[in-house]
Structure 1
Amino acid sequence: MSDLPVDEMSFETAMAELEKVLAQLESGNVELDASISLYERGAALKARCEAKLKEAEEKVAAITLDGDGNPTGLKPVEGL
């Protein structure tokens, strides 16, 4: 697993690590204490992925297209 704090991970990094965590938990070869730690890490990674997706959705929602399909009305999204 990465030593990078979850809140500094890109979506792709967090998703890749989340997949590894899930694979470990699903294997059933992890002791209870380690499973709890993995579950907590997985929950943090899931939250990070959701936050990054929300950011992307807000950016896309701020873009509108004109009749020719060209982007117009580009405006910064509040808080980004």
Structure 2
Amino acid sequence: MMESDKLEDLPFEEAMEKLEEVVDQLENGDIPLEESIRLFERGMRLSRLCGQKLERLESQVEKLVQENGEWVKKPFAPEEDGE
């Protein structure tokens, strides 16, 4: 099984934890260049995966709101920092 297949199966929370681990390792800065590149590529895959999962969840929230006749369908938009 390829690593990308394993990543796709991760729940959102686990994917975020793994992404945070990759960022921590890259920020540490004392790893060889080849390892840094490998970690960066893994981090990019995890970042895309998390983004895709969030988009799917956002779509599900919109559908749920739309299906409830008492509520008005509104797109989900997280609050911006500082607002």
Output the TM-score relative to the length of structure 1.
Answer: 0.75
Question: How far apart are 1:5 and its partner, in Å?
Answer: 1.3
Query: Structure 1: how far apart are the matches of 2:31 and 2:56?
Result: 34
| Structure 1 residue runs without a partner (length 5+) | 70-80
Q: How many residues align?
A: 65
Query: Structure 1: how far apart are the matches of 2:28 and 2:14?
Result: 21
Question: How far apart are 1:46 and its partner, in Å?
Answer: 0.4
Pairing 1:11-26 to 2, within 5 Å after superposition? 11-26=12-27
CA RMSD of aligned residues (A): 1.6
What is residue 10 of structure 2 aligned with on the other side? 9
What is residue 39 of structure 1 aligned with on the other side? 40
What is residue 27 of structure 1 aligned with on the other side? 28
1:55 equivalent in alignment to 2:73: no
Q: Structure 1 stretches (4+) deviating beyond 4 angstroms? A: none
Question: How far apart are 1:63 and its partner, in Å?
Answer: 1.9
Question: How far apart are 1:54 and its partner, in Å?
Answer: 0.6
Output the TM-score relative to the length of structure 2.
Answer: 0.72
Amino acid corresponding to residue 14 of structure 1 in structure 2: A
Query: Structure 2: how far apart are the matches of 1:13 and 1:38?
Result: 16
Q: Which has the higher strand share?
A: 1
| Structure 2 residue runs without a partner (length 5+) | 72-83
